[in-house]
Amino acid sequence: MKAYELDLSAYDVDVTTFKREEDNSITQKVEKQEFPIRQEMYEMLRIPGVLDSGMEIVDAVTLARRILSCEDNSIELTKDEMDVLRKVMNKLIKREHNPQAGVLALGGPRYEELIMRVFTAEEK
């Protein structure tokens, strides 16, 4: 059966914060923060309404738990596991971005590296 090696090593993302000063001016600060890759993947695999069946949910939750508990910088995924991960990510990528409603599409500087790692993972 096909297998894929997925890189779980940490990477940094730029985070912009805004602060209102005493004189009502706004200052912008950009700092690098470590992207919590395992936690993010764990959460995205468990988002309600993304998968089509109970069995897919079981597979996604099992994979999410395995990723979260992985202590190595990479994890080997079967083709079926990679298919579930890619399906979830594709649905999150194409959904309408609506921050006011708490719905965020997967993309932008925060998720670009994760997307590239998942969709270009090499077959072993």
With respect to residue 29, please indicate whether it lies within any of the assigned structural domains: yes
With respect to residue 20, please indicate whether it lies within any of the assigned structural domains: yes
How many domains are contained in the chain? 1
- Provide the pLDDT for residue 28: 86
With respect to residue 21, please indicate whether it lies within any of the assigned structural domains: yes
Q: What is the pLDDT of residues 42-95, one digit of tens each?
A: 999 999 989 999 999 999 999 999 999 999 999 999 999 999 999 999 999 999
With respect to residue 24, please indicate whether it lies within any of the assigned structural domains: yes
- Provide the pLDDT for residue 101: 82
What is the distance between the alpha carbons of residues 73 and 58, in angstroms, rounded to a whole number? 24
With respect to residue 124, please indicate whether it lies within any of the assigned structural domains: no
- Tell me the residue range of the domain where 82 lies: 3-119
Longest dimension (CA), the chain: 63
- Provide the pLDDT for residue 30: 86
- Provide the pLDDT for residue 104: 79
Model pTM score? 0.84
Question: Which one-letter amino acid corresponds to residue 40?
Answer: E
What is the distance between the alpha carbons of residues 18 and 27, in angstroms, rounded to a whole number? 6
What does the block give as tokens for 42? 């764990």
Cβ burial of 29 (10 Å; 0-12, 13-18, 19+) is: exposed
Q: Are 28 and 16 in contact (CB under 8 A)?
A: yes
When pLDDT is cut at 50, 70 and 90, the band that residue 117 belongs to is: very high
